[in-house]
Amino acid sequence: MKNVITLLSCAVALVMTSCTLSNEEKAEKLVKETLKDYLYHPDSYEPRG
């Protein structure tokens, strides 16, 4: 019974951590939202590489 509870706890922890955004994804989302506020056509924006 203890093993089942431990297994379920680990499964819940994995699901919760896999649903969060990484720092890179958070930054990309913030940049996209900011570009929408400043550009007339944010979809046409191409960053310099």
Of residues 28 and 17, which shows the higher confidence score? 28
* pLDDT reported for residue 1: 80
pLDDT of residue 42: 73
Q: In the predicted model, what is the mean pLDDT of residues 12-23?
A: 78
CB 42 within 8 A of CB 35: yes
Tokens of 4: 């089942």
Give the CA radius of gyration of the chain: 19
Indicate the DSSP class of residue 17.
Answer: H
- Tally helices (H) and strands (E) across the chain: 2, 0
Domain residue spans of the chain = 21-49
| pLDDT value, residue 49 | 60
pLDDT tens column, 26-36: 888 898 888 88
pLDDT at position 11, please?
Answer: 84
Ramachandran sector of residue 41 (left: φ over 0; alpha: ψ -120 to 50; beta: rest): beta
pLDDT at position 24 over 70? yes
The C-alpha atoms of residue 29 and residue 44 are separated, in whole angstroms, by: 16
